[in-house]
């Protein structure tokens, strides 16, 4: 604790309470301390300061001139400190300030942009900073309140809550590509086809092409890497251009599937991926803005 000439702030607070209550017992009741403890604290304060602050007898007490001077100087400072602590508590419970989020690029158009817009409309006192980045983030040192990630990029030693829609996947290709290169008859044949692969930030961290046969057998296939991108819309557009097959979220590709610009392959073999999670460090003393964002995300499942 910060000290003033070896005297703790608690000692000053107890002295001020005795002076204002005009008695040791009354101050002890207010502070929920024993009368002897309060008297001892004041004596210790006088000893450390080297002056007598309170004249007391068994029946009454009064401040000395030094005590009056100390009380006059201490009360404004104690009031300012109490106000500052009150403001901190109010800020903790008020949905305001800046909410800092980190999220993968793929989540933006998929669901996160809409969720953030709803949040900002609901809480106009909040400013949102969202950094779209597919790499892992250190929540301790980065200043980020929460990181939204897919299962493959879960943060260690954090709390995680599922948010957003189910992640339905699709393997897509253009009719032109299939007419030129042939349509694979089973997933194993994808090793002979051009793949437009999605990278998590770096080219050496590729999203797997996952398949399942029944409930127990799951496997991954690695196509020939014709292209590597870290943007979902680019992967879809390159597939439309006939450059290869792409393993993508189905929702943003649906419009092109419906128009016939893309076709899907092996639908019955492609499992849903786990939903995104919002990861944060602690449930204790969580800022109200983060708590409100999480609650809104859960309501929009």
From the list 95, 85, 81, the residue with the least C-alpha distance to 286 is 95
Tokens coding 100: 């800092």
DSSP classification of residue 199: B
Superfamily of chain region 97-163+276-299: Periplasmic binding protein-like II (3.40.190.10)
In three-state secondary structure terms, 29 is helix
Mean pLDDT within 157-174: 88
Identity of the highest mean pLDDT range in 204-208, 249-253, 281-285? 249-253
Tokens coding 271: 């499992």
CATH number of 3-93: 1.10.10.10
What distance in Å separates the CA atoms of residue 146 and residue 286, rounded to the nearest whole number?
11
At 41-94, the pLDDT tens digits run: 888 888 888 888 888 766 777 888 888 888 787 777 776 666 665 555 545 557
As annotated, the residues of the chain forming the CATH 3.40.190.10 domain(s) are: 97-163+276-299, 169-269
Report how far apart, in Å, the C-alpha atoms of 298 and of each of 94, 242, 262, 292, 301 are: 20, 39, 33, 10, 5
At 252-298, the pLDDT tens digits run: 899 999 999 999 999 999 998 888 889 888 766 688 899 899 999 98
Which stretches within 24-102 are classed as H helix?
Answer: 24-31, 35-49, 65-93
- Report, at the CATH architecture level, how domain 169-269 is classified: 3-Layer(aba) Sandwich (3.40)
Instruction: Provide the whole-model pTM.
Output: 0.59
pLDDT value of residue 82:
64
Any idea which of 7-21, 152-166, 206-220 has the lowest mean pLDDT? 152-166
pLDDT-based confidence at residue 2 (cuts at 50, 70, 90): very low
Is 209 exposed, middle or buried, given 0-12, 13-18 or 19+ CB atoms closer than 10 A? buried
């Amino acid at each position: 604790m910060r000290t003033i000439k070896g005297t703790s702030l608690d000692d000053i607070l107890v002295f001020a309470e005795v002076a204002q209550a005009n008695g040791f017992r009354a101050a002890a009741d207010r502070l929920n301390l024993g009368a002897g403890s309060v008297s001892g604290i004041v004596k210790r304060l006088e000893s450390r300061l080297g002056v007598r602050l309170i004249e007391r007898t068994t029946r009454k007490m009064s401040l000395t001139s030094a005590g009056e001077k100390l009380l006059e100087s201490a009360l404004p400072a104690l009031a300012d400190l109490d106000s500052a602590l009150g403001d901190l508590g109010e800020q903790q419970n008020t949905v305001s300030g800046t909410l800092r989020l980190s999220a993968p690029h793929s989540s933006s158009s998929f669901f996160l942009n809409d969720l953030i817009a709803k949040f900002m409309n609901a809480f106009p006192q909040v400013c949102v900073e969202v950094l779209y980045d597919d790499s892992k983030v250190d929540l301790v040192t980065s200043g980020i309140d929460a990181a939204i990630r897919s299962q493959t990029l879960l943060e260690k030693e954090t709390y995680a809550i599922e948010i957003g829609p189910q992640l339905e996947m699709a393997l897509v290709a253009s009719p032109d590509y299939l007419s030129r290169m042939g349509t694979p008859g089973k997933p194993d044949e994808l090793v002979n086809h051009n793949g437009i692969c999605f990278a998590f930030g770096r080219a050496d961290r590729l999203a797997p092409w996952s398949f399942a046969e029944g409930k127990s057998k799951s496997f991954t296939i690695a196509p020939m890497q014709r292209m590597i991108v870290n943007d979902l819309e680019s992967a879809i557009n390159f597939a439309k251009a006939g450059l290869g097959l792409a393993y993508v979220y189905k929702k943003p590709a649906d419009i092109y599937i419906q128009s016939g610009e893309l076709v899907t392959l092996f639908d019955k073999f492609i499992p849903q991926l786990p939903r995104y999670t919002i990861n944060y460090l602690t449930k204790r003393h969580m800022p109200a803005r983060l708590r409100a964002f999480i609650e809104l995300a859960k309501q929009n499942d």
